[in-house]
Amino acid sequence: MNNPVKLMKNTLLTCFILAAVTAGPALANANESEVTTITHAPLSLAGDGPSLGGYILVHYGDDDDGSEMKYRAVRVEMKGSQGVMQYAFSADFKGTIDDHLEGGDEAVSLKDAFATWSVSDGTTATFGRFKEPILHSGIHSSSRRLMVERTGNGGDFDDRNAGLMLNGGFGDVQWWVAMQEGGDGEGTMEKKQTTVRAVYNVMGSAFGKYQGAYGYEGSNLSIGVASVEDDFSGLSATAMEVGYVSDGWCIYADMIDEDGGDSPTSLTLSRVVHTNYELAFRVEEDDDAFDTSHLIAGLNWYQGGDGHNLKWQLNFTESESDNPANEGSRLDFGLVWRF
């Protein structure tokens, strides 16, 4: 007998493909301005394209194991449109600079490579390599982070894999349904990762292209929930998040609940002061067998009009755990420069 869950997933994938293919005739007569602007990972570039941009993250870290200074990212981005199609491409060149003695990065690594088009009014299809749409703390650009690192949950769920996605919105609700290669790209579409995400924007939108309070106006409150299942790794998890931004204050919390596993959580509070500075505090609980927790304090100094295009970041992290290997403190100092 066929596995009903597998049959349902394969049927859903078939529907995605049929929806994308049958939209072709309508797209041929569509106007470029009708392409929906709801995207899961905006690259924040200007112009109709092809447009070039990118960013550099330079980072200094000092902990109990020593100090290091390295390029965290040397990213080149390109986006544009052709007819009714919009496309985006990005690659990271930090591996051409880093010391390879530790066997880390490849010389050049592909990040984004996808095309999007309007399937119907308010619905967009994405095909190619893109980020898994699970948490805002994992989706937004690494150049837009509030702190040097993402939240622990955001960092665990920020992978890019090949696949197909439909996303859209109605009223105050946004939704995403994605099928990608499972096992962080190790699997195939036969062993795929399926993600379903929904966000309810109670007021405005707290899940924009920035993390933190800087760059937002008015009062914004958003609640998100996502479900992810990976046939390759056996992962089954539910993600939950809430964000509130108002009058220079930001509160953000996220949690991942893995079936039969841990349920790590994070809570972040930030405040914009004197226009160009933002103070931030974060508490994270790993929910592991050693009761590991982290307290992070940070300060951002924004430069120019859009301060995330040029900012200095200073973070201090204190980790506590019943496992001595997980304990310690760390100082991080970094520069983010978008071009």
- Digit-coded pLDDT (tens) for 222-247: 999 999 999 998 999 999 999 999 99
Buried b (16+ CB within 10 A) or exposed e, 220-230: bbbbbebebbb
- 81 is a domain residue: no
> Is the residue at 80 inside a domain?
no
Please tell me the least confidently modeled range out of 43-47, 148-152, 265-269, 311-315. Answer: 43-47
CB 212 within 8 A of CB 308: no
Pick 222 or 189 by higher pLDDT. 222
123-137, 187-201, 309-323 — which is least confidently predicted?
A: 187-201
- The band of 15, judged by pLDDT with boundaries at 50, 70 and 90, is very low
Map residue 236 onto helix, strand or coil. strand
Closest of 281, 283, 225 to residue 256, by C-alpha: 225
Q: What CATH number has the domain bearing residue 64?
A: 2.40.160.10
Domain that holds residue 215: 4-35+50-71+114-338
Please tell me the number of Cα atoms within 13 Å of 234 on its side-chain side.
3
SS3 199: strand
For residue 245 the two structure tokens come to 């931004």
Number of independent structural domains in the chain: 1
For the chain, give the mean pLDDT.
Answer: 86
- Amino acid at residue number 127: F
Answer yes or no: is pLDDT of 210 > 60.
yes
- pLDDT, residue 99, reads 54
Whether 40 maps to a domain, the answer reads no
Is 317 a domain residue? yes
What pLDDT sits at residue 175? 98
Residue 209: which of 142, 303, 144 has the closest Cα?
Answer: 144
If pLDDT is split at 50, 70 and 90, which confidence band does 319 have?
very high
Tell whether 285 is covered by a domain: yes
Which range of 62-66, 185-189, 296-300 scores highest in mean pLDDT? It is 296-300
Q: How confident is the model at residue 155 (pLDDT cuts 50, 70, 90)?
A: very high
- Of 31-35, 67-71, 142-146, 245-249, the range with the lowest mean pLDDT is 31-35
**Region 50-67 average pLDDT:** 91
**174 assigned to some structural domain:** yes
Q: Is 164 within 8 Å of 125 (Cβ atoms)?
A: yes
Q: What is the pLDDT of residue 82?
A: 87
Q: What is the pLDDT of residue 187?
A: 62
Q: What angle do CA 156, 201, 238 make, to 5 degrees?
A: 35
Is the pLDDT confidence value at 59 over 80? yes
The residue with tokens 């106007």 is: 31
Region 140-154: mean pLDDT is 95
Structure confidence at residue 103 (pLDDT) = 54
* Long-range interactions of 2-10: CB distance < 8 A, separation 24+: 9/179, 9/192, 9/194, 9/231
With a cut of 90, say whether residue 212 has pLDDT above it.
yes
Flag whether 79 is in a domain. no
Q: Is the pLDDT of residue 221 over 50?
A: yes
Q: Residue 47 pLDDT > 80, yes or no?
A: no
Work out the pLDDT band at 58, boundaries 50, 70, 90.
Answer: very high
Distances (CA, A) of 158 to 43, 150, 214: 15, 9, 22
For residue 87, tell me if it sits in a domain: no
Predicted TM-score (pTM) of the model is 0.82
